[in-house]
Amino acid sequence: LQGRNRKKKVIDKLTFEEIGGQESAKQELKEALDFLVRHDEIKNFGIRPLKGILLTGPPGTGKTLLAKAAAQYTNSVFVAASGSEFVEMYVGVGAGRIRDLFKDARTRATKENKESAVIFIDEIDVIGGKREGGQQREYDQTLNQLLTEMDGMYSSEAPRILLIAATNRKEMLDSALLRPGRFDRHIQVDLPDKKGRRHILELHAKNKPLEDNINLDKVAEESYGFSGAQLESVMNEAAIYAMRDEQNKIAQRHMSMAIDKVMLGEKTDRESTI
Ligand code: ATP
């Protein structure tokens, strides 16, 4: 119980405007959400309601941010969990946690007077990995419970639930999760391009003093291949370098040093895991 309470986090509000780049992912997500809120029409037309959206792409590209923004956009409560929280030694514990997650989301929505809840499950591949022919893993029950919850999502009264899951390894997912009526909307969240990187840098520079002549285009160019999370680190490290330098503002050289540091840090991390 303790573990469950510790890990399930309630996170602050966030809008799509606070997410840099990712224009097509934002657009696709908003379109899906716009459709979702027209629930009466959906019902009239006999359209199968959208239950799950799968966000796929490398780590640190803003998948969690997109899920949070989706909750804000649809005026829903936001409940987040990670696939690894459901993997337990004892059979049935993970399944129980899935049940609680859905129950919690409904309770919170009702308490806060909201019509809907967004449940975000990061690292869905941990519980939703492919089930190889006949081989039963002890946490198959967890996946089965998730499928059961998804199937029953609209048989119960409001609050409605939208499930958003994220993975870096879509090809690993069990086909049961990808079937129509489950996670049938997939949105790719790629590493940002140069324009996206610049946008992300600008967002993370907002609360930082920058020299007037700083060239963020150049920084965006030099940070090719960086994720949003790495760009956030670059801005943070640059501020640290400026402070160490006894300066009042962040200069271009601090940005370049920060890029090197983040790049090197990643390399060292990778080497240490080999
Ligand atoms: P993971 O797959 O590792 O869970 P993720 O794709 O969910 O990663 P987030 O948790 O959304 O990534 O991003 C981590 C942090 O990186 C954010 O809190 C934010 O500071 C920064 N970040 C990532 N992407 C963006 C973005 N597109 N715009 C602004 N900040 C970003």
User: Which pLDDT does position 206 carry in this prediction?
Assistant: 94
Residue nearest to atom 10 of ligand 1 (CA): 64
Please count the residues of the chain: 274
For the stretch 73-114, pLDDT in tens is: 999 999 999 998 888 767 788 889 999 999 999 999 999 999
Coil vs helix vs strand at 210: strand
- Confidence check: pLDDT of 2 > 80: no
Q: Where are the beta strands (DSSP E) in the chain?
A: 52-56, 77-82, 116-122, 160-167, 183-188
User: Which atom of ligand 1 is found nearest the CA of 166?
Assistant: 2
Residue nearest to atom 11 of ligand 1 (CA): 62
Structure ipTM over 0.90, yes or no: yes
Contact 66, 25 (CB under 8 A): yes
pLDDT band at 10 (very low <50, low <70, confident <90, very high): very low
Most confidently modeled of 43-47, 127-131, 219-223?
A: 219-223
User: Which pLDDT does position 40 carry in this prediction?
Assistant: 82
Name the token pair of 15. 């809008």
- State the average pLDDT over residues 252-274: 78
Give the distance (Å) from ligand 1 centre to CA of residue 65. 6
Q: Where are the beta strands (DSSP E) in 90-132?
A: 116-122
CB of 230 within 6 A of ligand 1: the answer is no
CB of 22 within 6 A of ligand 1: the answer is yes
User: Which pLDDT does position 7 carry in this prediction?
Assistant: 42
pLDDT band at 1 (very low <50, low <70, confident <90, very high): very low
For the stretch 145-170, pLDDT in tens is: 999 999 888 765 678 899 999 999 98
- From CA 114, how far away is CA 119, in angstroms rounded? 14
For the stretch 19-69, pLDDT in tens is: 999 999 999 999 999 887 887 888 888 888 888 999 999 999 999 999 999
User: Which atom of ligand 1 is found nearest the CA of 192?
Assistant: 27
Give the distance (Å) from ligand 1 centre to CA of residue 201. 12
**DSSP per-residue letters across 10-43:** ------GGGS-S-HHHHHHHHHHHHHHT-HHHHH
Q: Give pTM, 2 decimals.
A: 0.89
Other CB atoms closer than 10 Å to residue 175's CB: what's the count?
9
- From CA 45, how far away is CA 11, in angstroms rounded? 35
- Confidence check: pLDDT of 220 > 70: yes
- From CA 185, how far away is CA 189, in angstroms rounded? 13
- State the average pLDDT over residues 121-143: 76
User: Which pLDDT does position 4 carry in this prediction?
Assistant: 42
For the stretch 191-210, pLDDT in tens is: 999 999 999 999 999 999 99
Please tell me which residue, 130 or 233, carries the higher pLDDT value: 233
CB of 64 within 6 A of ligand 1: the answer is yes
